[in-house]
Amino acid sequence: MRTIDWVDGAIELVDQTLLPGECRVVRIGTVDGLIDAIRRLAVRGAPALGVAGALGVALAVATEPDPADAAARLRSARPTAVNLAWGVDQALKCLDGGFGAVLGRALEIRDEDIAACRAMGERGADLVRELTGRDQVRIMTVCNTGGLAAVERGTALGVAQTLHERGQLAEVLALETRPLLQGARLTAWELGRMGAPHRLVVDSAGPFLLARGSADIVLIGADRIAANGDTANKIGSYALALGAHRAGVPFIVVAPESTVDLATPTGSRIEIEDRDPAEVLSVRDVRLAPEGTGVLNPAFDVTPHDLITAIVTERRVIRPGSGEALVAGTI
Ligand code: MRU
């Protein structure tokens, strides 16, 4: 199954807001429809957003009077995952070649994502074995970084999938990931489909379970990696990194090179998306907090590079926690 693709002149994607109850593919034929799907998280996860951005430019060329203006609106539909802007920019570079050239580049980006996720799975699984020294590995993760966050296979969860396929996965502890429950709704669904052993954990239990020795390694994805290795990812990642550091558990970021943003020198410069208070005040329309309650709802946090044991991409393994830089001179 592909999470997102180009089919007969339009984008088709799995509407992730309906999972795990229903796995429905929706067709999107306008840029505004795509922006809406991105904002309401029908399509989400950094690599999938990169592909959506590129395919969206093809839609813009096919349907909009001013494709560049439509692409600019699409580019800023969500601010934190750099892949969205990256995908839009990659496709825009082909604008002079017309629709065929733009779509061709977008389909290339889709195919590159599939290959990158496979490569990260293999490289990440090797690294996990090296760092843990275990034949059967217990992983902790947050949010959803599986195939639903990419095209076919994921990043951090792709590593878990590779370990499972090799017969080396003991268990995944998946944090439920308040407020939108990507861990409970999406990661648990994907692990179930893989037949991979897993248990769901409330977010605040993560650091304590690491202190108790319940996981051998933490694997997360990334929405933007600054030039110095500071990494923005789903809210809760930073707390896990602190817990992992204290417990002496390796903390690994798995992300494609397209998530590395060399134009952003450090994590303090990464824009963090603030989402609708309603996401915190209610769960699926069931009101939790009293009327009038104020809310802060940052969708992401930033983990400083010194807390990151390694960053795994499709091309390399970098160890920021040991002083190794993504780019010479940035640490
Ligand atoms: O708000 P979301 O669901 O788009 O957040 C997604 C994450 O934080 C993922 O961990 C990240 O995009 C990496 S996905 C391989």
The atom number, within ligand 1, closest to the CA of 46 reads 12
Domain boundaries, the chain: 4-112, 122-322
pLDDT attached to residue 138: 98
pLDDT attached to residue 27: 98
pLDDT under 50: residue ranges of the chain? none
List residues with catalytic annotation. Answer: 223
Q: How far apart are CA 40 and CA 299, in angstroms?
A: 13
**How distant is the alpha carbon of residue 328 from its chain centre?**
26
pLDDT attached to residue 280: 98
Any residues with Cβ below 6 Å from ligand 1, and which? 41, 44-47, 81, 143, 145, 149-150, 154-155, 182, 221-223, 233-234, 299
Q: Which of 143, 178, 224, 276 has the most ligand 1 atoms within 8 A of CB, as the residue to mutate? A: 143
pLDDT attached to residue 328: 81
260: CB partners within 8 A, 6+ apart:
225, 227, 313, 326
The atom number, within ligand 1, closest to the CA of 254 reads 15
Determine the distance separating the centroid of ligand 1 and the alpha carbon of 220, expressed in angstroms. 9
**How distant is the alpha carbon of residue 34 from its chain centre?**
18
Cα angle, residue 89 at apex, residues 87 and 91 outer, rounded to 5°: 70
Cα angle, residue 21 at apex, residues 17 and 22 outer, rounded to 5°: 75
pLDDT attached to residue 284: 87
Q: Which fold has domain 4-112?
A: Four Helix Bundle (Hemerythrin (Met), subunit A) (1.20.120)
pLDDT attached to residue 331: 74
| CATH number of the domain located at residue range(s) 122-322 in this protein | 3.40.50.10470
pLDDT attached to residue 330: 80
Determine the distance separating the centroid of ligand 1 and the alpha carbon of 66, expressed in angstroms. 30
